[in-house]
Amino acid sequence: MGETRRIEIEIDAGMLAAADDAVENGRFADRDAVIAHALGFWNDEVSRVRRLIDEGFASGDPVEGNPLHHLLSHIGRPDRYRPGPARCP
Protein backbone atom coordinates (compact mmCIF):
# COMPACT_ATOMS: atom_id res chain seq x y z
CA MET A 1 0.00 0.00 0.00
CA GLY A 2 2.98 2.32 0.41
CA GLU A 3 3.56 5.16 2.80
CA THR A 4 0.62 6.17 4.93
CA ARG A 5 -0.26 9.57 6.34
CA ARG A 6 -2.76 10.45 9.01
CA ILE A 7 -5.56 12.80 7.99
CA GLU A 8 -8.74 14.08 9.59
CA ILE A 9 -12.09 13.80 7.81
CA GLU A 10 -15.64 14.82 8.58
CA ILE A 11 -18.49 12.45 7.73
CA ASP A 12 -22.17 12.51 8.59
CA ALA A 13 -23.74 10.43 11.35
CA GLY A 14 -25.10 7.85 8.92
CA MET A 15 -21.70 7.15 7.41
CA LEU A 16 -20.13 6.94 10.85
CA ALA A 17 -22.81 4.50 11.98
CA ALA A 18 -22.19 2.35 8.87
CA ALA A 19 -18.44 2.33 9.58
CA ASP A 20 -19.00 1.44 13.22
CA ASP A 21 -21.43 -1.32 12.22
CA ALA A 22 -18.83 -2.81 9.86
CA VAL A 23 -16.30 -2.85 12.70
CA GLU A 24 -18.75 -4.24 15.27
CA ASN A 25 -19.76 -7.04 12.89
CA GLY A 26 -16.12 -8.03 12.40
CA ARG A 27 -15.83 -7.08 8.74
CA PHE A 28 -13.05 -4.58 9.51
CA ALA A 29 -10.58 -4.13 12.34
CA ASP A 30 -11.29 -0.43 12.85
CA ARG A 31 -12.73 2.71 11.26
CA ASP A 32 -9.45 3.41 9.48
CA ALA A 33 -9.71 0.08 7.68
CA VAL A 34 -13.31 0.86 6.64
CA ILE A 35 -12.33 4.23 5.18
CA ALA A 36 -9.23 2.80 3.47
CA HIS A 37 -11.34 0.05 1.90
CA ALA A 38 -13.99 2.53 0.75
CA LEU A 39 -11.39 4.80 -0.85
CA GLY A 40 -9.69 1.83 -2.52
CA PHE A 41 -13.04 0.66 -3.89
CA TRP A 42 -13.85 4.16 -5.14
CA ASN A 43 -10.45 4.40 -6.84
CA ASP A 44 -10.96 1.01 -8.52
CA GLU A 45 -14.41 2.06 -9.75
CA VAL A 46 -13.10 5.35 -11.15
CA SER A 47 -10.40 3.41 -13.00
CA ARG A 48 -12.97 0.92 -14.31
CA VAL A 49 -15.25 3.68 -15.60
CA ARG A 50 -12.31 5.42 -17.27
CA ARG A 51 -11.35 2.16 -19.00
CA LEU A 52 -14.94 1.73 -20.21
CA ILE A 53 -15.01 5.29 -21.55
CA ASP A 54 -11.70 4.71 -23.35
CA GLU A 55 -13.04 1.42 -24.74
CA GLY A 56 -16.13 3.21 -26.00
CA PHE A 57 -14.10 5.88 -27.79
CA ALA A 58 -11.79 3.23 -29.26
CA SER A 59 -14.70 1.13 -30.55
CA GLY A 60 -15.41 3.49 -33.42
CA ASP A 61 -18.20 5.75 -34.50
CA PRO A 62 -21.59 5.64 -32.77
CA VAL A 63 -24.22 3.33 -34.25
CA GLU A 64 -27.88 4.26 -34.64
CA GLY A 65 -30.33 1.92 -32.97
CA ASN A 66 -32.36 1.16 -29.90
CA PRO A 67 -29.98 1.50 -26.95
CA LEU A 68 -32.13 -0.66 -24.67
CA HIS A 69 -32.15 -3.54 -27.14
CA HIS A 70 -28.40 -3.15 -27.59
CA LEU A 71 -27.87 -3.28 -23.82
CA LEU A 72 -30.10 -6.33 -23.38
CA SER A 73 -28.44 -8.15 -26.26
CA HIS A 74 -25.12 -7.76 -24.49
CA ILE A 75 -26.40 -9.38 -21.32
CA GLY A 76 -27.91 -12.25 -23.26
CA ARG A 77 -31.61 -11.51 -22.81
CA PRO A 78 -32.89 -9.60 -25.85
CA ASP A 79 -36.06 -11.71 -25.64
CA ARG A 80 -37.11 -9.79 -22.52
CA TYR A 81 -37.36 -6.51 -24.43
CA ARG A 82 -40.83 -5.81 -25.77
CA PRO A 83 -41.15 -2.46 -27.52
CA GLY A 84 -44.32 -0.59 -26.85
CA PRO A 85 -45.72 2.69 -25.62
CA ALA A 86 -44.21 4.20 -22.51
CA ARG A 87 -46.47 3.88 -19.50
CA CYS A 88 -46.45 5.83 -16.30
CA PRO A 89 -47.82 4.29 -13.11
Give per-residue pLDDT as tens, 54-70.
998 898 887 777 767 76
| pTM reported for the whole predicted model | 0.60
- Residues 34 and 60 sit within 8 Å (Cβ to Cβ): no
Residue 27 and residue 39 in contact, taking contact as beta carbons nearer than 8 Å:
no
At 89, the pLDDT band (50, 70, 90 cuts) reads very low
Q: Return the exposure string of 66-83: e unless at least 16 CB atoms fall within 10 Å of the residue's CB, then b.
A: eeeeeeeeeeeeeeeeee
Buried (b) or exposed (e) across 12-21, using 16+ Cβ within 10 A?
eeeeeeebee
